[in-house]
Amino acid sequence: MQDNKKFMLEAIKLAGENVEHNHGGPFGAVIVKEGKIIGKGGNKVTVTNDPTAHAEIVAIREASKNLGTFDLSGCEIYTSCEPCPMCLGAIYWARIGKLYYAATKEDAAKAEFDDSFIYAEFAKPKTERKLQSVQMLREEAVKVFEKWISKEDKIQY
Amino acid sequence: MQDNKKFMLEAIKLAGENVEHNHGGPFGAVIVKEGKIIGKGGNKVTVTNDPTAHAEIVAIREASKNLGTFDLSGCEIYTSCEPCPMCLGAIYWARIGKLYYAATKEDAAKAEFDDSFIYAEFAKPKTERKLQSVQMLREEAVKVFEKWISKEDKIQY
C-alpha cells in the first residue's frame, strides 16, 4: 500500500475509534516526518473539556513534544477532514509543509460541525463580527513589544 | 479602577513577565467570567516546545479546566494583542462572547510576529496557498461521519 494511503487510513481509524469511545468529535490526525508517524490524535474536546483539543492540535502537540521542538518543518499532516480555521492556523505556525485531508468541510457540516460561520467571520471587518471587539490600553502593551525588541537573549520562534 | 482596565493590565503584566523569564513571545491573556479571572496565561511556545501554546490558547485551556466544561459562553477574553487566526478560531469554538485587546496586529508585526501572511493565506483558494493540500480517501472518512450521525449516545459540542 502507498505510504500516504496508509497514513490517511490511520487518521480515519483514529476518527472512528473516537466515535466508538465517545472521546470527542469524529476526527483524527497524524503527523509524519521522513516516512514515520511522530504524532497522532483524535478530537478530545468532550473527554478533556478542552475546546482547543481538535485532532490536528492534539497531533501537533504530540509531535512537537516527541521531537522536542516547536518547529515541524519537513513534516506532513494527514487529517480525516479539512481543517477548521483554528487548526489551519496551527498548521501554519507549526510550519508543516503539506496537508493531506479526506472529508470536506461540507461533509463535516452535514454532521453538524460547521466552521463556515467562523471562516465567514474572519472575512469581515472586526466591527461587523458577531464577536464584539474592544480595544484598550494599546500604549501599555506596545511597551512590552519594545522590551522584547531590545532584549538580547530572547528565543525567537 | 475600572474592572476591564484591571483585567487588561493583568494580561499585559503576563506578557511582560514572559519577556523577562524567556518563556515565550511577549503576549498574555486573561479569561473572565462574572467579574472573576478564571484562566490566564502567557505565550509558552518556546518554553514548552508547543507551537499552539499562544497566550489565548493557554488561557482558554486553563479556564475550561477550571470550569470543567468546553463551553466558555458568558466569558470575556482580555488579550495583550489582537489574536492571530488560530487564536481567533479558538475564541469562537470556546464560545467566548467578548474580546478585549490592546496592541494591534501591526504593532506585533513590528516586533516580528507577523500573522498577516496567515490571514492572507486563509483568503486564498486552497490551490493557491503556500501550504500544499491534497485530498484523498474521502469516502472512507465520510463513513465515520455517518457513524457519528447515527450514534445515539454521542456527546455533542
Please state the ipTM of this predicted complex. 0.96
Q: What is the pLDDT of residue B7?
A: 98
Backbone torsion region of residue B154, taken as left when φ is above 0, otherwise alpha when ψ lies between -120 and 50, otherwise beta: beta
Q: Which of residues 133-152 of B touch A (CB under 8 A)?
A: 133-138, 140-145, 147-149, 151
Residue A86's pLDDT is: 97
What's the sign of the alpha-carbon dihedral B59, A54, B116, A128? Answer: negative
- What lies within 8 Å, CB to CB, of A31 at 6+ separation is A37, A38, A39, A40, A59, A60, A62, A63, A72, A75, A76, A77, A78, A96
pTM to 2 decimal places: 0.96
Residues of A in contact with B111 (CB under 8 A): 145, 148-149
Contacts of A32 in chain B (CB under 8 A): none
Across the interface, do B154 and A19 touch by the CB < 8 Å criterion?
A: yes
Region A112-135 average pLDDT: 91
Chain A residue closest in CA terms to B109? A145
Our CA-based measurement puts residue A125 at a distance from the nearest CA of chain B, in whole angstroms, of: 12
Instruction: Assess whether pLDDT exceeds 80 at residue A1.
Output: no
Residue A19 has pLDDT above 80, yes or no: yes
Å from A33 to nearest chain B CA? 16
Model confidence band, residue A123 (pLDDT cutoffs 50, 70, 90): confident
What pLDDT score does B52 carry?
Answer: 98
Residue of B nearest to A94 (CA): B51
What pLDDT, on a 0 to 100 scale, did the predictor assign at position B114?
85
User: What pLDDT was estimated at residue B2?
Assistant: 85
Higher pLDDT, A7 or B116: A7
Of A10 and A23, the one with more pLDDT: A10
Q: Which residues of A touch B140 (CB under 8 A)?
A: 8-9, 12, 102
- Give the CA angle between residues B7, B41, B102 to the nearest 5°: 45
- Residues of A acting as catalytic residues: 56
Q: Looking at the complex, does the CB of residue B36 fall below 8 Å from at least one CB of chain A? A: no
Q: What is the pLDDT of residue A54?
A: 98
CA A120, A125, A129, A132: dihedral to nearest 10 degrees?
150
Considering only residues B54 and B115, tell me which one the structure prediction assigns the higher pLDDT.
B54
Average pLDDT, integer, range B123-133: 93
Task: Give the three-class secondary structure for A29.
Answer: strand
pLDDT digits 0-9 by tens, B38-91: 999 999 999 999 999 999 999 999 999 999 999 999 999 999 999 999 999 999
Q: Is B77 on the interface with A (CB under 8 A)?
A: no
Q: Do B102 and A135 touch (CB under 8 A)?
A: yes
Q: What is the pLDDT of residue B157?
A: 86
Question: What is the per-residue pLDDT for A33?
Answer: 98
Any chain A CB within 8 A of the CB of B104?
yes
pLDDT at B156: 87
pLDDT, tens digit (0-9, with 9 covering 90-100), for A51-95: 999 999 999 999 999 999 999 999 999 999 999 999 999 999 999
Quick one: which of B83, B92, B60, B153 has its CA closest to A48?
A: B60
Q: How is B15-70 classified by DSSP, letter by letter?
A: HHHHHHHTSSSS-EEEEEETTEEEEEEE--HHHHT-TT--HHHHHHHHHHHHHTSS
CA-to-CA separations, B120 to A122, A123, A125, A133, B27, in angstroms, rounded: 11, 10, 14, 21, 22
DSSP reduced 3-state for A119: helix
State chain A's maximal CA–CA distance in angstroms: 58
